[in-house]
Amino acid sequence: MSAIGVAAKQNWLECLFPRRDGRYLTVTAVAALSAVAGLFYAAPSPWLWPALGGFSIWSSLISAGDAVTQRIPNLLNLAALCSAWPLLALATAAGPGSLSGAGMGAAAAFFLYLALWLVAPTSIGMGDVKLAPYLGAHLGYFGLSCWWHGLFYGLIVQGGVAGIGLAAGKLRRGDRVAHGPAMCLGAAAALLEALLGR
């Protein structure tokens, strides 16, 4: 393998697994499998499984990495977003959602988070802004209510984590808290809610 190939492979490994110790890998795997199990159980059709499985795996990898590094690599956001469209297109065979809704959800989430970043750049990072379209596409696919709930739940989770951290003395005012995990957890909760309601 050429030096460029080795460097590219190493770059991908670092993006996917910024830590490779047993505890980190176990937590990431448990999170992904839990999300897969919950969303698959709630899915009204097996045609949704590839999209929901992809969402579970990417969001778990992104959340775990952001939690320990406080950053979301561009490669990860791009790969996740590129994988979303063919999987969501396949899901339309089940007829529960809309690709146009996914497109509008992705764009709206991006511009909303971009506005938040411009207003309060110390509260969220540009990686969060680039993650928003991926989550927004899945939420928008299931409709406006799911989209709103996913973003709202993410903010609630983030506020709860920050509040608990401050109360426990683990955080101080002004400390940055990774926002990606809360975004992904909020989106997963909204997707589960939408699927169970169908």
- pLDDT tens by residue, 113-164: 999 999 988 788 999 999 999 999 999 999 999 999 999 999 999 888 777 7
pTM: 0.90
DSSP category for residue 196: H
User: Cβ–Cβ contacts within 10 Å for residue 87, how many?
Assistant: 18
Q: Hey, CA dihedral for 100, 104, 107, 109, is it positive or negative? A: negative
Looking at the structure of the chain, the number of domains it has is 1
Domain around 72: 3-196
